[in-house]
Amino acid sequence: MSLGRSSVRPERVPTVRELLASGERSFSFEFFPPKTEEGERQLWRAIRELEALRPTFVSVTYGAGGGSRDRTVDIVERVAHETTLTPVAHFTAVNHSLRELRHLVGRFAGAGVRNILAVRGDPPGDPMGEWVKHPEGVLYAEELVRLIRQSGDFCVGVAAFPYKHPRSATIETDTEYFVRKCEAGADYAITQMFFRAEDYLRLRDRVAARGCDTPIIPGIMPVTQMSTIARSEQLSGAPFPEEVAARFEAVKDDPARVRRLGIEHAAELCRKLLDEGAPGIHFITFNRSNATRELFQRIQPIPAATPLSA
């Protein structure tokens, strides 16, 4: 059962740490800052429609190179003040000095935002380009975690990579970096998107073998069109599983069947993850509500008075 929200915002917004500690499954949604006015309208339509599902929290991403920094902060502030949702602000170290990072943390605090997802971030222009530290900034996400935790009463999440981070030399070094983020003070993690339950389970086993029990929430994105496959590889840095790609290849000439298969596959994946003890599911929405609502309905009963839109 998902964690509900009252229609009146409480004086003290709960942290993701507290929500996960309740023992109930977490269901959350991820949005990104739009670049156009129409995109802005689409974002808020999706937020309002998905708010009715009473998610545990919602997160707002931070563009490559910090390009959407102000829009991210603005959206998170508005979610905090105008909705019943618990917002999580993504936060990167790219192109930011320590002074700028502390200022942004202070801005979140001033808006009543206590949940921050700390990621090192991608360089501007080319996500796979060379990562260059700001001369007065931080080099690793674990440093960003420490900075946030030292700045006040924040709950800090981090990223996890079921396949491995594209810049990690090996799976073993990637696991080491993840554990170091947890030791620096991370309360939970959200994975990059993936499409096989085994990838998540192996990640969890590797982390547990290091004595780390930080909750890891799977990040799931349904394939709704064939172009999503290539896009997922670009965003995650991980190859799309061949056996899953073959299922979509068989229906590639029928967009409706591709979308239907995408929802079915994602639902199968979510159910297996939950059966294996995952603490919840983080849905990557791309600021659209319909596919997410359909997927959510497959694995979690829709709350009353929230009819599924066409």
Q: Which residue type, as a one-letter code, is found at position 110?
A: G
Cα(137)–Cα(196) distance, integer angstroms: 36
The domain containing residue 250 runs over which residues? 16-299
What pLDDT is recorded for position 14?
83
Q: Which residue type, as a one-letter code, is found at position 91?
A: F
Instruction: Characterize 21-31 residue by residue with b for buried, 16 or more Cβ atoms within 10 angstroms of its Cβ, and e for exposed.
Output: eeeebbbbbbb
Q: What is the mean pLDDT of residues 161-174?
A: 86
Residue 279: inside a domain, yes or no? Answer: yes
Q: Which residue out of 30, 51, 77, 142 is catalytically annotated?
A: 30
What pLDDT is recorded for position 95?
72
What pLDDT is recorded for position 235?
74
Residues 6+ apart with CB under 8 A from 279: 20, 25, 26, 188, 215, 216, 217
Greater confidence (14 vs 240) lies with 240
Is 30 considered catalytic here? yes
Residue 1: inside a domain, yes or no? Answer: no
What pLDDT is recorded for position 38?
95
Q: What is the mean pLDDT of residues 279-306?
A: 84
Indicate whether 288 pLDDT > 60: yes
Q: What is the mean pLDDT of residues 127-140?
A: 64
Residue 7: inside a domain, yes or no? Answer: no
What pLDDT is recorded for position 137?
63
Indicate whether 274 pLDDT > 90: yes
Confidence band of 300 (pLDDT split at 50, 70, 90): confident
Specify the range with the lowest mean pLDDT, choosing from 5-14, 104-113, 130-139, 242-251: 5-14
Residue 65: inside a domain, yes or no? Answer: yes
- CA contacts within 13 A on the Cβ side of 88: 29
CATH of the domain at 203: 3.20.20.220
What pLDDT is recorded for position 135?
64
Kindly report the average pLDDT of the chain as a whole number.
86
Specify the range with the lowest mean pLDDT, choosing from 1-15, 27-41, 219-233, 289-303: 1-15
pLDDT single digits (tens) 239-267: 899 999 999 999 999 999 999 999 999 99
Residue 249: inside a domain, yes or no? Answer: yes
Residue 175: inside a domain, yes or no? Answer: yes
- Structural domains in the chain (count): 1
Cα(265)–Cα(244) distance, integer angstroms: 9
Residue 6: inside a domain, yes or no? Answer: no
Confidence band of 125 (pLDDT split at 50, 70, 90): low
Q: What is the mean pLDDT of residues 291-305?
A: 78
Map the chain to HEC letters.
Answer: CCCCCCCCCCCCCCCHHHHHHCCCCEEEEEECCCCCHHHHHHHHHHHHHHHCCCCCEEEECCCHHHCCHHHHHHHHHHHHHHCCCCEEEEEECCCCCHHHHHHHHHHHHHCCCCEEEEECCCCCCCCCCCCCCCCCCCCCHHHHHHHHHHCCCCEEEEEECCCCCCCCCCHHHHHHHHHHHHHCCCCEEEEEECCCHHHHHHHHHHHHHCCCCCCEEEEECCCCCCHHHHHHHHHHCCCCCHHHHHHHHCCCCCHHHHHHHHHHHHHHHHHHHHHCCCCEEEEECCCCCHHHHHHHHHHCCCCCCCCCCC
Confidence band of 91 (pLDDT split at 50, 70, 90): confident
Contact 4, 57 (CB under 8 A): no
What pLDDT is recorded for position 65?
47
Specify the range with the lowest mean pLDDT, choosing from 3-17, 69-83, 155-169, 185-199: 3-17
Residue 184: inside a domain, yes or no? Answer: yes
Highest mean pLDDT: which range of 14-28, 56-70, 105-119, 271-285: 271-285
Q: What is the mean pLDDT of residues 271-290?
A: 95
